[in-house]
Amino acid sequence: MSKPRLRIGLIGSGFMGKAHVFGYTTAVRVFDLPFEPELHTLADITDDAAERAAAALGFARATSDWHGLVADPEIDVVSITAPNALHKEMALAAVATGKHVYCEKPLAPLAADAREMADAAVAAGVKTQVGFNYLCNPMLILARDMIAAGEIGEIRSYRGVHAEDYMADAEGPFTFRHDPAGGGALADIGSHALATAEFLMGPAAGPIVRVSGDCVTAIATRPDGHGGHRKVEVDDIGRAFLRFANGATGSIEANWIATGRKMQHDFEVYGTKGALVFSQERFNELHFFSTSDTRGRQGFRRIEAGPDNPPYGRFCVAAGHQLGFNDLKAIEVAGFIEAIAGQREEPFGFRAGLRVQSLVETIQASSRSGSWKDVP
Amino acid sequence: MSKPRLRIGLIGSGFMGKAHVFGYTTAVRVFDLPFEPELHTLADITDDAAERAAAALGFARATSDWHGLVADPEIDVVSITAPNALHKEMALAAVATGKHVYCEKPLAPLAADAREMADAAVAAGVKTQVGFNYLCNPMLILARDMIAAGEIGEIRSYRGVHAEDYMADAEGPFTFRHDPAGGGALADIGSHALATAEFLMGPAAGPIVRVSGDCVTAIATRPDGHGGHRKVEVDDIGRAFLRFANGATGSIEANWIATGRKMQHDFEVYGTKGALVFSQERFNELHFFSTSDTRGRQGFRRIEAGPDNPPYGRFCVAAGHQLGFNDLKAIEVAGFIEAIAGQREEPFGFRAGLRVQSLVETIQASSRSGSWKDVP
Amino acid sequence: MSKPRLRIGLIGSGFMGKAHVFGYTTAVRVFDLPFEPELHTLADITDDAAERAAAALGFARATSDWHGLVADPEIDVVSITAPNALHKEMALAAVATGKHVYCEKPLAPLAADAREMADAAVAAGVKTQVGFNYLCNPMLILARDMIAAGEIGEIRSYRGVHAEDYMADAEGPFTFRHDPAGGGALADIGSHALATAEFLMGPAAGPIVRVSGDCVTAIATRPDGHGGHRKVEVDDIGRAFLRFANGATGSIEANWIATGRKMQHDFEVYGTKGALVFSQERFNELHFFSTSDTRGRQGFRRIEAGPDNPPYGRFCVAAGHQLGFNDLKAIEVAGFIEAIAGQREEPFGFRAGLRVQSLVETIQASSRSGSWKDVP
Amino acid sequence: MSKPRLRIGLIGSGFMGKAHVFGYTTAVRVFDLPFEPELHTLADITDDAAERAAAALGFARATSDWHGLVADPEIDVVSITAPNALHKEMALAAVATGKHVYCEKPLAPLAADAREMADAAVAAGVKTQVGFNYLCNPMLILARDMIAAGEIGEIRSYRGVHAEDYMADAEGPFTFRHDPAGGGALADIGSHALATAEFLMGPAAGPIVRVSGDCVTAIATRPDGHGGHRKVEVDDIGRAFLRFANGATGSIEANWIATGRKMQHDFEVYGTKGALVFSQERFNELHFFSTSDTRGRQGFRRIEAGPDNPPYGRFCVAAGHQLGFNDLKAIEVAGFIEAIAGQREEPFGFRAGLRVQSLVETIQASSRSGSWKDVP
């Protein structure tokens, strides 16, 4: 194995921390990457926690000092999966020492912060990545390519939703996700719905240029963890009407109190010649309607993911066997590593994270004012 | 058969004219009705057309003079399935001679007209009906009853859509449905989405009290039938954010250019203890999620229509055999006839038709002004 | 209405008796039939029962004497929906007086009886019908036509099932359906699975020529209604391997103890160029896979029933609105009436009923012997 | 990382070779394993092929001499993914030098060979594994546990299928899978259907004790790669009727010419109190019907995989995110490694592989004789 090493420093070891590790681990075997990732150092809140996680996840070293990790000259890439409020400080510190940075979404609580981070990365000449893993799904890539190629004609309308139920219990505690600075369903999962909308529609319909927002707090207070209740000011449901540059219109909904929904990241796109319908609940399928099918034989067709849909074939040579959530993360990692090697553009760099954050804030501002807003 | 006769006069013999006849024909056999409907007279544009239709559909007489039909003292009920613009004149004339009136939706192009019609009917003491047949589905009745009984807890959010593709072809001609006075997708099929939303949510969440509309013309001009093109001013897509009286929020979308969709009259309702999901594309099913199911055994459950869901058992004693669209129409007719006999309230009288029309107009006004509007 | 009358005498007024009436009622309005059916006389076990049913269903007269009904010279058609064991006597009596006969399936408990009935009908020159209503579904007609036209290439294999749960409760009583002479799941619902298999495969793959049966009694005894239990000798589950004339192979399963299934009358047909998949649980859809679709865009396509699928358009001019079970019965009735008028062949005459009965008996014989049998 | 190393030698680097590597790679990060697998040596047909694959997959050494690999005292585990005909020789050689062996299915072309292999492994005291990865699905484990716990009552019937279309093209060449010694659809994929049937039914209904087979060659000859055609003697479709020890009955079908099917590894199990329905096409879902649900609220419930279904939670802490095919392989590997450490029984050792092979051969023998056979 003569490949150069890419030494990873990971901050955080929860859901997303593990997902990053699984991503690095799988990516290096599945793809023919220019670097061999090496799990170098893991930082967590305490030394103990860091050591346990490092042992479990295969890192050579552990630390409770993320500043040290970020400054360590042996480390090439910093993976940030700490709470949102820390993203900015960590990323700026890593960028300042010339590290490439892979940061979980949302990039930062506020667009202004995200902009500062994106600018710093450009200035430092490092590569960046934000974790919009749903966009790594071969079926979303297929959908985007079909739309761009005109397979469903000119695009007229879009309907997107991202609904889950992890905040449906009103007795669930107040967390950092409820923090007025950057929290709420729209920021947390609506960001996925918005990223998907622009990813799919962009090449054919252009970006979202104007929005009308409807952000709703459905659960007024939540337990504060000290026997009392704390007022919730962020949205549990965030909706928006959308205008795309080409005149197409649409809507998205983010809802984290949708009882029974675990992963309803769905969309429907309608064009002059066809339609595409997708549900993340069955994310290895894309449903395609085409008016060019023979009359009397038309219908929504269930395309199953297979080697015709790169990079599916890297994982499995036979169609219909299905990728999993962690596989999407491996595709995300692979794209980032290829970008570090200069083999491709950053798939979803800080600039893309900033863009989503701007959409979120514009929708929030529109909701507060009760009127349409142009997206800056 | 000693039942009293109920003599029907039908105006119009197209899609909905036939559906009314099928409704009367089936209802009398399936239900134990207080009257025996008799197909008395059919009116159409010309004598010829009327005679052909009367023969085909089983009416004893035919006429091209709807005024005569309405005035005929032998007739008890007038079924109006003529173009929308004529509904008001016909209904008022029928009401004036003491006839019960069954009018296809939308009741009238404008809420003001609908109000006049509703008031006239009340003043005359006749029974009225507007054709919201989707509400007659046993599975919608089940959904409403489950919501009302609290089976999914307190209601928090609603998502409704009615999408079809019958106007998707930009070369389809300008018709009365594109008339600025009363036309457009929101009025034509959004009326169904709104009727369903209030039907389901009403008992538990109260009526819709406030809306924000987004009405879009996607196809700017249509062939005028004389070699030229005519500007379209009505919406091809009408969306709205909704507020219900209890604070629940939601949205609906009406879209008649949704390529590939034939009957996407769907909804999702989320409560604190569960959810209901429905698609008219498979309208004999209701999907139910309940947090009271055993942990690890929860999931959306596909309830198939059966005799436990009245009036399904009238049609078939075994579950899973499925009702058809015309059966819904028969249920609608039966409810109307029972109301005429004083056995129940009017299921969806002119007052209900007016209500839907008001919602439509408020959404349109909101869209024009770009701001939220209270529903009068 | 100058159409000649076709006077109907109905024997029995249960599930299928009502379905016949709904069929006559709807057929005459939906189709342009050569005759106008008239509900003349209804016969049931007692005068009381007959009178109540006649009033409810719209018959002019009632009787407890089916012999009289059959002999009544005013009656043109006899509809037999009495228990299976009586079919033969009733049908032979009706045929003897020159009546056309519409008999519910199974035509007779034994193939020998069915043959006698079919021969008598031919000798008398009357038209006959057996109630295989599932075959009247426009989507089954579409499937048959697609197979016959080679749209899925040469046919290689078939998988059929008819599963319900109406006998799943071991405490359900012993009924005529458990009678060793003609009872059992294979005879009762396997007959549908077999009729569908030959209906679809016939034109392309020829009839079933050889079978291997597996008939199983899963519930050994059932309550006899007198406090004791009676031994069950018929099958609760009947399976068969099939050989078609062209060499294609397949299987069917009939199962009336399939807990949770209400109407699983499903099939999958695989050819060299495609496949068709169908479920009666969603009987307005047919799923079609074609290898001639563009590579990377292939998949099972959900064709929704519409006016392109005759006679759907008779019921509704718009696709996706869906037919119901009773509509299938109306299509069945219409075909029979057209056959009486000489406008077409009998859709499923006694000869077709005999054919299915022969298949059932050959499978049963094969199961008893544990070896393959040629179908006579 | 002080865990002891487990040095892996892999023979073969195709579809399944890669899947083994992905399995080892993922398993070590996702699970807390007693050993750290080390990719030691990869053997392939030529030195060149082996070196390329070793570099791509991360093995330290490469060789074209599998005998050397098997004899290498540094290696602890041999993974065999070479063509079926070589499994026996390789496995016996590996076992002889005290290696643990992980062999792809089918274990050997003939049950007699499989028995020899299983006996040798027991005699040598090594651990073995056969690649029945579908059984590693958390939803199959859930199904088995629900059946064993009586959640669907006493088991009455079973319907299984494994259908794909990778042999549907009659111009596809003759391969080792068509070899009369051990080839055919029943051996290749029917083995999965049989393994799943016994895995699920075993605890509640006991093993399969008697079968009636129907093995069919649908494509008579295939291109021999030298311009001619070679006669095919193995089955393209293999069906069987089944008897379980408790008297429950069932059927399976294996079909590798099912045009359009990519992974139809499906089952339906019916009990006295409920049913389970599963499709590998959507393998993160299990559909559950229970008669203990409230009347009028019953239906098949779509349970989505989540942390309640171990070991799903190892991969992802949130439900509905979905595992992929390679994740199943990682679960398989983890179970094997735990068995090597003596922490659990071998999940699917050579003895289990032999069992499946015996079922396959008994079905084949039954098909040839046209009569039922007891399973030895």
Cα atoms found within 13 Å of the Cα of residue D140, Cβ hemisphere only: 26
Integer Cα distance of C351 and D230 in angstroms:
44
The token duo for B142 is: 């089940």
Contact yes or no for A254/A238 (Cβ under 8 A): yes
Strands D5-11 and D36-43: parallel
pLDDT band at C182 (very low <50, low <70, confident <90, very high): confident
- Per residue in D61-84, pLDDT (tens digit) is 999 999 999 999 999 999 999 988
Q: Which phi and psi (to 5°) does residue C270 adopt?
A: -115, 130
DSSP D127: -
pLDDT value at residue B181: 82
Integer Cα distance of B278 and B293 in angstroms:
20
Residue type, position B129, single letter:
Q
Percent of chain A with pLDDT over 90: 93
- Per residue in C266-276, pLDDT (tens digit) is 999 999 999 99
CB contact under 8 Å between C157 and D218, yes or no, is yes
Question: Is the pLDDT reported for residue B133 higher than 90?
Answer: no
Question: Is the pLDDT reported for residue B49 higher than 50?
Answer: yes
Distances A346 to A3, A141, A321, A353, A374 between C-alpha atoms, Å: 21, 16, 29, 12, 27
Contact yes or no for A193/A162 (Cβ under 8 A): yes
Domain architecture of chain B: domains with CATH: 5-133 (3.40.50.720), 138-282+284-318 (3.30.360.10)
Contacts of D309 in chain B (CB under 8 A): 296
pTM score above 0.90: yes
H helix or E strand, kind and range, residue C302: strand C300-304
Contacts of B1 in chain C (CB under 8 A): 55, 58, 60
Q: What is the mean pLDDT of residues B208-234?
A: 96
- Per residue in C290-315, pLDDT (tens digit) is 999 999 999 999 999 999 999 999 99
Integer Cα distance of D50 and D54 in angstroms:
6
Q: How far is B15 from chain D (nearest CA, A)?
A: 34
With CA atoms as reference, report the closest residue to B237 among B219, B222, B210, B212: B219
Least CB-CB distance to A297: which of C288, C296, C299? C288
With CA atoms as reference, report the closest residue to C92 among C50, C128, C61: C128
Q: E strands along chain B, which residues?
A: 5-11, 36-43, 61-63, 77-80, 100-103, 128-130, 155-163, 208-216, 221-223, 229-231, 237-244, 249-255, 264-271, 274-279, 285-290, 300-304, 373-374
Question: Is the pLDDT reported for residue C2 higher than 80?
Answer: no
Q: What is the mean pLDDT of residues C154-165?
A: 98
Sign for the CA dihedral angle at B23, B27, B30, B36 comes to negative
Integer Cα distance of D225 and D55 in angstroms:
31
Q: What is the mean pLDDT of residues C325-336?
A: 96
Least CB-CB distance to C270: which of D159, D258, D272? D258
- Per residue in C13-45, pLDDT (tens digit) is 988 999 999 999 999 999 999 999 999 999 999
Integer Cα distance of D124 and D109 in angstroms:
22
Candidates C259, C272, C277, C289: best to mutate against D (most CBs of D within 10 A) is: C259
- Per residue in A274-286, pLDDT (tens digit) is 999 999 999 999 9
Q: What is the mean pLDDT of residues C64-85?
A: 95
- How many Cβ atoms are within 10 Å of C308's Cβ, its own excluded? 16
Contacts of C15 in chain B (CB under 8 A): 316-318
With CA atoms as reference, report the closest residue to B63 among B42, B89, B77: B42
Q: Which phi and psi (to 5°) does residue A110 adopt?
A: -125, 150
Integer Cα distance of A364 and A186 in angstroms:
8
Q: For residue D372, give the chain C residue with the closest CA.
A: C370
Query: Residue D355, class by beta-carbon neighbours within 10 Å (0-12 exposed, 13-18 middle, 19+ buried)?
Result: buried
Question: Is the pLDDT reported for residue B128 higher than 90?
Answer: yes
pLDDT value at residue D1: 46
Integer Cα distance of D363 and D214 in angstroms:
8
pLDDT value at residue D83: 87
pLDDT value at residue A1: 46
- Per residue in B30-45, pLDDT (tens digit) is 999 999 999 999 999 9
pLDDT value at residue A372: 98
Q: Is B143 helix (H, G, I), strand (E, B) or coil?
A: helix
The token duo for C30 is: 């939906």
Q: What is the mean pLDDT of residues C123-136?
A: 94
pLDDT value at residue B1: 46
With CA atoms as reference, report the closest residue to A157 among B258, B186, B187, B184: B258
Q: In the 3-class helix/strand/coil scheme, how is chain A assigned residue by residue?
A: CCCCEEEEEEECCCHHHHHHHHHHHHHHHHCCCCCEEEEEEEECCCHHHHHHHHHHHCCCEEECCHHHHHHCCCCCEEEECCCHHHHHHHHHHHHHCCCEEEECCCCCCCHHHHHHHHHHHHHHCCCEEECCHHHHCHHHHHHHHHHHCCCCCCEEEEEEEEECCCCCCCCCCCCHHHCCCCCCHHHHHHHHHHHHHHHHHHHHHCCEEEEEEEEECCCCEEECCCCCEEECCCCCEEEEEEEECCCCEEEEEEECCCCCCCCEEEEEEEECCEEEEEEHHHCCEEEEEECCCCCCCCCEEEEECCCCCCCHHHHCCCCCCCCCHHHHHHHHHHHHHHHHCCCCCCCCCHHHHHHHHHHHHHHHHHHHHCCCEECC
Cα atoms found within 13 Å of the Cα of residue A332, Cβ hemisphere only: 29
Residue type, position C185, single letter:
A
pLDDT value at residue A106: 85
With CA atoms as reference, report the closest residue to A180 among A80, A81, A85: A85
Q: Which residues are registered as beta bridge partners of A241? A: A212, A251
Query: Torsion angle, CA of A92/A93/A94/A95, rounded to 10 degrees?
Result: 50
DSSP D234: S
Residue that the structure tokens 């032999």 belong to:
D354
Contact yes or no for B7/B38 (Cβ under 8 A): yes
B interface with D, Cβ–Cβ < 8 A, is 142, 285, 288, 290, 293, 295-304, 308-309
Contact yes or no for B87/B18 (Cβ under 8 A): no
Distances C47 to B30, C15, C94, D137 between C-alpha atoms, Å: 22, 19, 21, 62
CB contact under 8 Å between D370 and C170, yes or no, is no
Integer Cα distance of B139 and B157 in angstroms:
19
pLDDT value at residue C135: 95
CB contact under 8 Å between D159 and C159, yes or no, is no
Residue type, position C106, single letter:
P
Strands B100-103 and B77-80: parallel
Question: Is the pLDDT reported for residue C1 higher than 60?
Answer: no
Candidates C297, C304, C308, C312: best to mutate against A (most CBs of A within 10 A) is: C297
Contacts of D301 in chain C (CB under 8 A): none
Q: Which phi and psi (to 5°) does residue A280 adopt?
A: -65, -20
Cα atoms found within 13 Å of the Cα of residue B133, Cβ hemisphere only: 24
pLDDT values of chain D reduced to their tens digit, one per residue, 376 residues: 468 999 999 999 988 999 999 999 999 999 999 999 999 999 999 999 999 999 999 999 999 999 999 999 999 999 999 988 899 999 999 999 999 999 998 888 889 999 999 999 999 999 999 988 899 999 999 999 999 999 999 999 999 999 999 999 999 999 989 988 888 999 999 999 999 999 999 999 999 999 999 999 999 999 999 999 999 999 999 999 999 999 999 999 999 999 999 999 999 999 999 999 999 999 999 999 999 999 999 999 999 999 999 999 999 999 999 999 999 999 999 999 999 999 999 999 999 999 999 999 999 999 999 999 999 9
Percent of chain C with pLDDT over 90: 93
Contacts of B300 in chain D (CB under 8 A): 301-302
With CA atoms as reference, report the closest residue to C27 among C48, C47, C3, C51: C3
Least CB-CB distance to B22: which of C19, C29, C317? C29
Percent of chain C with pLDDT over 70: 99
Distances A92 to A101, A115, A166, B165, D95 between C-alpha atoms, Å: 9, 11, 31, 50, 56
CB contact under 8 Å between A241 and B237, yes or no, is no
Integer Cα distance of C300 and C297 in angstroms:
10
Contact yes or no for D177/D190 (Cβ under 8 A): no
Contact yes or no for D122/D150 (Cβ under 8 A): no
The token duo for A92 is: 């700026």
CB contact under 8 Å between A259 and B273, yes or no, is yes
Strands A237-244 and A208-216: antiparallel
